[in-house]
Amino acid sequence: MRARIGIALLLCTVCTAVGCAPVKPYQREFLAKPIMQFGSDPDEDTLDLHMLEAREGAEGGYGSAGGGCGCN
């Protein structure tokens, strides 16, 4: 039983080590594409901001107008 756990641990370690690669500074610009960043789509962010402004009764600094009731 210990041998199987040891082999599985060794296999996981080898698989993890294979995925590591050094990245040179001039290559980082190509790896840091905006599409690779985590986040929701801009339309959903705009809707969330609108709902937050309506709930708080204040503007978020994005130029939208309206009162605390959610009407424009």
Q: Residue 46 in contact with residue 53, Cβ under 8 Å?
A: no
User: What does the pLDDT read at residue 42?
Assistant: 79
* pLDDT, averaged across the chain: 76
Report field, pTM of the whole predicted structure over 0.75? no
State both tokens at 17.
């080590």
Instruction: Give the C-alpha separation, 49 to 62, whole Å.
Output: 9
Longest dimension (CA), the chain: 68
Nearest to 60 by CA among 41, 71, 47: 47
Which tens digit of pLDDT belongs to each residue from 37-55? Answer: 677 677 888 888 888 777 7
